[in-house]
Amino acid sequence: MKTQNYAIIDIGSNTMRLVIYEKTKSNRLKEIENVKASSRLRTFLEEDNTLNQAGIDRLIDTLKSFQEVLATYTLQDTICAATAAIRQAVNKKEIETQIVQKTGLNIRILSEEEEAYYGYLAVVHSTSLKEGITVDIGGGSTEVTYFENRELKDSHSFPFGALTLKDFFKKSIPTTEELTTLRQYLREQFATLPWLKDREVKLVAIGGSARNLAQIHQNLESYPLAGLHEYQMFQKDIIEVSSYLTSLKPSKLAKVEGLSKDRADIIIPAIEVFHCLYQTIQAESLILSRKGLRDGVLYEHLAKESDSSLYPNVLEESIQELVNDYDLDRKHIRHVQNLTEQVFDFCKENGLIQLDKQDRKLLKMASFLFNLGEYIDSESSPQHTFYLLANRTIDGLEHRERVKLALVASFKNKTVFNQFIQPYKSWFLKDERRKLLELGSLLKFTYCLDATRRQIVDRIDFKLKKKNILIRVYTKANAMPEEYQAEKQKKHLEKAIGKDVELEFIADSQM
Amino acid sequence: MKTQNYAIIDIGSNTMRLVIYEKTKSNRLKEIENVKASSRLRTFLEEDNTLNQAGIDRLIDTLKSFQEVLATYTLQDTICAATAAIRQAVNKKEIETQIVQKTGLNIRILSEEEEAYYGYLAVVHSTSLKEGITVDIGGGSTEVTYFENRELKDSHSFPFGALTLKDFFKKSIPTTEELTTLRQYLREQFATLPWLKDREVKLVAIGGSARNLAQIHQNLESYPLAGLHEYQMFQKDIIEVSSYLTSLKPSKLAKVEGLSKDRADIIIPAIEVFHCLYQTIQAESLILSRKGLRDGVLYEHLAKESDSSLYPNVLEESIQELVNDYDLDRKHIRHVQNLTEQVFDFCKENGLIQLDKQDRKLLKMASFLFNLGEYIDSESSPQHTFYLLANRTIDGLEHRERVKLALVASFKNKTVFNQFIQPYKSWFLKDERRKLLELGSLLKFTYCLDATRRQIVDRIDFKLKKKNILIRVYTKANAMPEEYQAEKQKKHLEKAIGKDVELEFIADSQM
């Protein structure tokens, strides 16, 4: 099958962007090109909301330069979507006509409802959140939605965005009075939507301003993980960034780590929007979504094309993507999962380890990905496994969950575990850390039982003795390598369950 | 093309191992299976050097269990090689006959010369060293070779190995007298080969004992990098490990981090061999080679099969492997290399950066691999690039060189550079660090000139003005994305050369 490429051009009030996605063999959308142009179309809007000819020319020039990039790819589809800057222009028909004439491109001018809907769609396609409020601050509009059970319940588009809100300030750094006025205005605006008030759900922030907020915070905190998607912040974190930025001299603002130059003048009003909305809904926390409008448009397009669900099981699909991308052996995985279940049940039933549903889920997920770092280098594969899982975006997993998965799937021994967990120690209680160690030990042991990946173990049974546990391993044939490995690694399991383990390997011929 | 798999069974005195390699599309040999069995055949040698029937049975049982693993693969070839344990047995004909009868496997009993030769071959195939002395400590023999201009000059096999040398000690931890006697013996042995004395070259250590020595040292030092291949140690490091191990209680020895259980009793005599040899040759340093006998045998086999050189340009091939494995765009690379050369020459000729041959080489290598971490995730790709290049084995590069390559190829900005270099700061002088920063800045800039990977830039020229430098970029067509990126990133170049840069983009139509 040939790879399929899709292009999306996104015409925003502040930025225009061309993104080309490749649909990989595992149906993942991989960005292979991302070209940004700072258009600031909004500044070409006349007082009567006409986009003047200079603005139209700029828009068309940018589209033309994007087309030259497009020409170097074989594309399945090209979608060109425009938001508030064009939608709000009174001469939008004229703009459309000029664009078609001069570039041949058909643009879709998204309605307010559509713009909000695609943001929501991107979120349910790239996170596991069941309920939440999304917010996407554009240059000239701000979309909010509320979803429950992953379904869209309410949505609204406010006619203000980061670019228009900066008019509340005379200079790039606002005075206290200016800030107060802006906050007052925002609070009133949000109060017009009763479904926002005291929702007590997560606030999911979409778009460039949100990304910049998260990046600045990660830099301030020397955050040890890579990746922004599903990064979590609390009110105190938003206040920290806001106080930091408003305390700077104007000349220092553009140099803040994590802040893109062309957002320096709009980041402060944007943060106020997040903060006021956070307070209005009494949010549990703010979660960043790296996927937004563009992705939502594409998801819908692909779902139509392939007749697939608009509400996928995101996490499950992410795990399957990893299995594909890192060439993992599915037979081996299923076999290890089966053995792991048996050991898990035995330990749980006999109270050897305190285990619950969540542990079972985590263990299952980790058993899909155990030792996937081998793909990079067979040397130091536990370290590569930990690095990849902790630092790669896994749609549907928040960062803390990613680290848990990484710790269990990379388990080698206690020392290495402690090394890996070191920078994240404060993220987990002592009991949680011990649990992760135990789950890793258990998985490492069952993994050894298929050391040669030929599913030689037929079944296992357990006998709880006074002083130890006898595990009988019935194999289809001589399983010397498995026995060697299991004997060597059983010490981790012994520590986890606090009992000695006696192994007895029984080959078919002896049965 | 179907993938080709090769199996090697290595019958040593201490360990038997089955390794299955896959020859990847980039001709790299990737270990896909590695099964170890602790055979200790040596312990079945009678006083008259007959391997007794219990030993032969053990050998055959292990081979049979290996065969069951072999049966699950489609193999191009299976090579079964035996070393000292069989070579030194007086009944080796009988052993061979029994193996053929009971397993159908033909074993190659390597001569002393062959054993030494294959160790040497592995080293010149996986490092860039021009000259050195290799040492491979087996259970029952120790091979040393000297090579110069990558050609084998001398070789010898001593009839002692880690297993036989431990007879110098009564218990696992030797007394001071026992150590002195052992050292005396080793010094005398090495003195019989005049070509060892005061060679003042690098000592390349091969085999399991060497790997364990390096692992223990890495653990003691909390070494920040992954990977053993081409790890470097000095005399003080060997002494550090040796003093640490001999100071332990016997019960603690087996629990030392980095030491495999089944080597606990032979690691101390093995380290003495490395140390005495280090002193005899007045080594520059000890370099670990993870590639050894098995790999040498396979390299020869493959070279015969494909009629290729036995003395490849290791580093160049490693870089090409990476280009293949991480799906990098060769046209884009060549274009960026060309632009980089031009900027490099201009900076060098005008003394803007102090640049030499080594810098050019490093920059060229980095330009092959710039931003390869995109393969993992387009988010945080600089971090992924740095991680991969610093922590993955790159045959032909010592660790310090690997880190230099990683820093230049992952360059994003000064802050991120400083973050990445932090754990390795002491490895480089201040001037070296600045140079790496400058090279990264330069490469980042030329990379932007092909932001859309369509080789739009036709040529560039430079004008050194009083206050700044004018770079004129002539493009085949409108190059808006390149211009946008280059304007954004030129600040790094400006800092590197200490002058402002003025960019002028001139499209074909304007020419």
What average pLDDT does the structure give for chain B? 92
**Prediction ipTM score:** 0.84
Shortest distance between the Cα of B181 and any Cα of chain A, in A, equals 34
Instruction: State whether B383 and B464 are in the same domain.
Output: yes
Q: Determine what percent of chain A is predicted with pLDDT higher than 70.
A: 98
Question: Which chain B residues contact residue A477 at CB under 8 A?
Answer: 68
Geometric angle at alpha carbon B259, from B255 and B261, rounded to 5°: 65
Whether residue A235 lies inside any domain: the answer is yes
Q: B394 or A375: which carries more pLDDT confidence?
A: B394
Whether residue B300 lies inside any domain: the answer is no
Instruction: State whether A58 and A139 are in the same domain.
Output: no
Question: Which chain A residues contact residue B481 at CB under 8 A?
Answer: 18, 35-37, 65-66, 69
Instruction: State whether A118 and A264 are in the same domain.
Output: yes
Quick one: closest CA in A to B328, which residue? A32
Quick one: closest CA in B to A394, which residue? B377
Question: Which chain A residues contact residue B387 at CB under 8 A?
Answer: 387, 391
Does the structure show a pLDDT above 50 at A2? Answer: yes
When pLDDT is cut at 50, 70 and 90, the band that residue A168 belongs to is very high
Quick one: closest CA in B to A383, which residue? B226
Q: B27 or A162: which carries more pLDDT confidence?
A: A162
- Residue B355: CATH number of its domain: 1.10.3210.10
Instruction: State whether A445 and A413 are in the same domain.
Output: yes
Quick one: closest CA in B to A480, which residue? B65
Half-sphere exposure of A264 (CA within 13 A, CB side): 16
Instruction: State whether B375 and B421 are in the same domain.
Output: yes
Instruction: State whether B150 and B64 are in the same domain.
Output: no
- Select the residue of A31, A72, A477 nearest B378 (Cβ to Cβ): A31
Instruction: State whether B503 and B357 are in the same domain.
Output: yes
> Is the distance from CB of B87 to CB of B110 less than 8 angstroms?
yes
> Is the distance from CB of A250 to CB of A173 less than 8 angstroms?
yes
Count A/B contacts: CB-CB distance under 8 Å: 122
- Select the residue of B261, B380, B478 nearest A488 (Cβ to Cβ): B261
Instruction: State whether B260 and B183 are in the same domain.
Output: yes
Q: End of a domain among A79, A109, A139?
A: A109
Quick one: closest CA in B to A393, which residue? B377
Quick one: closest CA in B to A481, which residue? B35
Does the structure show a pLDDT above 70 at B2? Answer: no
Q: A220, A229, A478, A508: best mutation site toward chain B, by most B Cβ within 10 Å?
A: A478
Q: End of a domain among A53, A83, A109?
A: A109
Between the alpha carbon of residue B318 and those of residues B144, B242, B314, B392, the distances in Å are 26, 34, 6, 11
Contact assignment for B478 to A65 by CB distance below 8 Å: yes
Range of the domain at B75: 4-109
- Output Rg (C-alpha) for chain A, integer angstroms: 27
Contact assignment for A393 to B415 by CB distance below 8 Å: no
Instruction: State whether A168 and A249 are in the same domain.
Output: yes
φ/ψ of A329, rounded to 5, equals -90, 105
Measured distance CA(B451)–CA(B459) in Å, rounded: 15
Please report the sign of the dihedral spanned by the C-alpha atoms of residue B412, residue B418, residue B424, residue B425. positive
Contact assignment for B484 to A453 by CB distance below 8 Å: no
User: Could you report the per-residue pLDDT of B380-391, keeping only the tens digit for each?
Assistant: 899 999 999 999
Whether residue A302 lies inside any domain: the answer is no
Measured distance CA(B120)–CA(B285) in Å, rounded: 17
Whether residue B161 lies inside any domain: the answer is yes
Instruction: State whether B165 and B219 are in the same domain.
Output: yes
Does the structure show a pLDDT above 70 at A4? Answer: yes
Whether residue B307 lies inside any domain: the answer is no
Residue with the two structure tokens 């998985």: A443
Please tell me the total count of domains within chain A. Answer: 3
Q: Determine what percent of chain B is predicted with pLDDT higher than 90.
A: 77
Whether residue B299 lies inside any domain: the answer is no
Whether residue A326 lies inside any domain: the answer is yes
Question: Which chain A residues contact residue B33 at CB under 8 A?
Answer: 452-453
Contact assignment for B454 to A72 by CB distance below 8 Å: yes
When pLDDT is cut at 50, 70 and 90, the band that residue A511 belongs to is very low
- Residue B258: CATH number of its domain: 3.30.420.150
Residue B469's Cα: distance from chain center in Å? 42
pLDDT at site B379: 84
**Taking residues A431-448, what's their average pLDDT?**
96
Measured distance CA(A161)–CA(A153) in Å, rounded: 23
φ/ψ of B127, rounded to 5, equals -135, 170
User: Could you report the per-residue pLDDT of A225-266, keeping only the tens digit for each?
Assistant: 999 999 999 999 999 999 999 999 988 998 898 898 888 999
Name which of A465, A327, A322, A475 is nearest A397 in CA terms.
Answer: A322
Does the structure show a pLDDT above 80 at B12? Answer: yes
Instruction: State whether B336 and B393 are in the same domain.
Output: yes
Q: Whole-prediction pTM value? A: 0.88
Instruction: State whether A431 and A359 are in the same domain.
Output: yes
Q: End of a domain among A55, A75, A109?
A: A109
Shortest distance between the Cα of B466 and any Cα of chain A, in A, equals 26
Q: Which residues of A72-91 are buried (b: 16+ CB within 10 A; e: fewer)?
A: ebeebebbbbbbbbbbbbeb
- Residue B72: CATH number of its domain: 3.30.420.40
Whether residue B269 lies inside any domain: the answer is yes
- Select the residue of A228, A380, A453 nearest B226 (Cβ to Cβ): A380
